[in-house]
Structure 1
Amino acid sequence: MLALRRNQLIFLAAAGSAALMIGALGFQYIGQMPPCKLCYWQRYPHVAAIVIGGLGLIISGRFLPALGALAALATGVIGVYHTGVERAWWEGPSTCTSSGAAGKTASELFDEIMAAPLIRCDEVPWEMFGLSMASWNAVIAFGLAALWVMAARRTD
């Protein structure tokens, strides 16, 4: 079996985050699918992982790969949370999720609609093999976290 060196693992993990960011931006600007609030939250750790990866290629030690793993895990957890919001397993942030109309007057409903964001977190705009973008982000991010952990364990 081919054993990857520390820098190769760091490069692959950071490149994975970069690929996910390029894909997200492609969906946003080419596919005309603007992101919701939770989509943005998932992007921040990927940006951090890319920066950490760049630094990790020039600075030795285990701290940066461990930090990269933490960033990948963070976006994965947010992706799982977002998936739960999309699937109505739990309610999402009130700023991007419908809370229902029970007990509200027409005026309150109108005010809520007018103040609501354009992109809702509890709707799935795209799926592949039954998984939404948030779900795919979580699956891939956990794989990237494994690469980061392997890099942290390497001393070469």
Structure 2
Amino acid sequence: MKQKSETLLFIAWAVSLAATLGSLFFSEILRYTPCELCWFQRIFMYPLVVIYGVSLIRKNTQTALSGLILSGIGGCISIYHYLIQKVPAFQSAGDACGTVPCNAAYINWGGFVTIPFLAGTAFAIIFICHVMTIREQRSNA
């Protein structure tokens, strides 16, 4: 595996690890109860730490291909969740989201940075890194 591909996979792994630790910080330290959409985002984020970690150890980007799919789906969920929080036309969908409404925002830094925004940013970075890794490999093949 080339150095650039390794660096991109390391970035994807580091971002997934930071996002996982961040979500655990919000729920376990700050005691924010995750809503249902937050749980779905966690379902798609947590395995990425293992997938990209194994890929780095094995120096094999093929083992990380499922990470591309997981980050794409997780990113779509994050976008939808963010729309529920920030766009009035979507907010009524967040009321029926379980014990914690999905349209509630535990944090709202700068008026736009919420937990789904942070997760969506992480998913986007991971997805882009993975696409760049694939393009790098194809150009070197």
The alignment's TM-score, normalised by the length of structure 2, stands at 0.80
Partner of residue 135, structure 2: 153
The structure with the greater share of residues assigned to helix is: 2
Task: Give, in angstroms, the shift of residue 93 of structure 1.
Answer: 6.5
Question: Larger radius of gyration, structure 1 or 2?
Answer: 1
Question: Aligned partners of 1:139 and 1:127: how far apart in 2?
Answer: 15
2:101 is aligned to 120
1:71 is matched with: 70
Q: Is 2:12–2:126's contact at 8 Å kept on the other side of the alignment?
A: yes
Q: Tell me, yes or no, if the aligned pair for 2:10 and 2:52 is still in contact at 8 Å.
A: yes
Structure 2 matches for 1:126-145, cutoff 5 A?
A: 126-129=107-110, 130-145=112-127
Cα distance, 1:4 vs. partner?
5.1
Confirm or deny: 8 A CA contact 2:95 2:101 kept in the other structure. no
Distance in 2, matches of 1:124 and 1:89, equals: 16
| Matched-pair contact (CA < 8 Å) for 1:46–1:75 | yes
- 1:139 & 1:123 partners in 2: Cα distance? 19
Residue identity in the other structure for 1:79: S
Deviations 1:96-135 (A, max 9, x none): 1xxxxxxxxxxxxxxxxxxxx4311121111122221102
Contact 1:66 1:152 in 2 (8 A): no
* TM-score (ref. length: structure 1): 0.74
Looking at structure 2, the residues matched to 5 and 11 of structure 1 have their Cα atoms a distance apart, in angstroms, of 10
For 1:95 and 1:143, locate their aligned partners in 2 and report how far apart those are by CA, in whole Å.
30
Number of matched pairs: 133
Q: Where in structure 2 are there 5+ consecutive unaligned residues?
A: none
**What percentage of residue pairs aligned between the two structures are identical?**
23
Query: Gapped runs of 5+ residues in structure 1?
Result: 97-116
Question: What's 2:89 paired with?
Answer: 89
Matched with 1:106 is none
Say what the alpha-carbon RMSD is for the aligned residues: 2.3
Q: Offset of 1:39 from its aligned partner? A: 0.4
